[in-house]
Amino acid sequence: MTETTHARVALVTGGSGGIGRAVAECLAQDGQRVAVHYAGNQTRAEETVQAIEAAGGRAIAVGGDVADENEMAAAFDQTEQAFGGIDVVVNTAGLMVLGPLATFDLDDLDRMHRTNIRGTFVVSQQAARRVRNGGAIVNFSTSVSKLQFPGYAAYAASKGAVNAMTLILARELRGRDITVNAVAPGPTATKLFLDGKDQADIDNLAKAPPLERLGTPDDIAEVVAFLAGPGRWVNGQILYANGGII
């Protein structure tokens, strides 16, 4: 059954955990209906939905491989059928595999780029077709593109492609009153970022920004909520949310 409401509706890819879950919950707190997307872990997505609804919000879980155009078309269909339309798409889904360029496994390169590049393209394509006038599309980049940490070449390259897509799509949607931006987090305390790092590396990264701490998923979610709501005059930009590290 389609819900009839004047509330804005958001689809958050990768919304079952980490930054994605924080974004989904933050948008729900702002009064948006939220479709929490997952690729493989439906249980975690349902937990996010339950947390949103326990706090008085409205949410559903939708599944699909972000790089598969048919599965994502179905996820967009489910969202529209449940809530009557889509106003905001936030594409947090991504993979990060690290290693020196000279020895990097090309299968890992292909797997990461399939999610980060093709996945962002597929989701952005659906969003460009479906988001209602007055809406917002928010992709996810990385501050590593400027920090240039060794070992991040493949990951940063994939996010460089995200930057290009974001900036060009903003211009292609001229006349639709739809903003298109990307958020580029710095070091953020998520499982994706912390895995494989020893405590000394984590401590050094925490000291790097003038605010002298790692970011949190909530820090990033607040930036997304601004772009997805009141930030209507910010368009075609890459916002570096990193506590001043660069």
Per domain, the residue ranges of the chain are 9-240
Q: In what order do the strands lie in the sheet with 59-63?
A: 59-63, 33-38, 9-13, 88-91, 136-140, 179-185, 238-241
Going along 66-134, which residue ranges are E strands?
88-91
Per-residue pLDDT at 66:
98
Is 246 in contact with 147 (CB distance < 8 Å)? yes
Per-residue pLDDT at 209:
94
The set of catalytic residues is 155
Q: Of 92, 85, 80, which is closest to residue 26 (Cα–Cα)?
A: 92
- pTM, full prediction: 0.95
pLDDT in tens, the chain (246 residues): 566 557 999 999 999 989 999 999 999 999 999 999 999 899 999 999 999 999 999 999 999 999 999 999 999 999 999 999 999 999 999 999 999 999 999 999 999 999 999 999 999 999 999 999 999 999 999 999 999 899 999 999 999 999 999 999 999 999 999 999 999 999 999 877 777 778 998 998 899 999 999 999 999 999 999 999 999 999 999 999 999 998
DSSP helix/strand/coil, 184 = strand
Cα(209)–Cα(186) distance, integer angstroms:
9
Go through the chain and tell me how many residues it has.
246
CATH topology of domain 9-240: Rossmann fold (3.40.50)
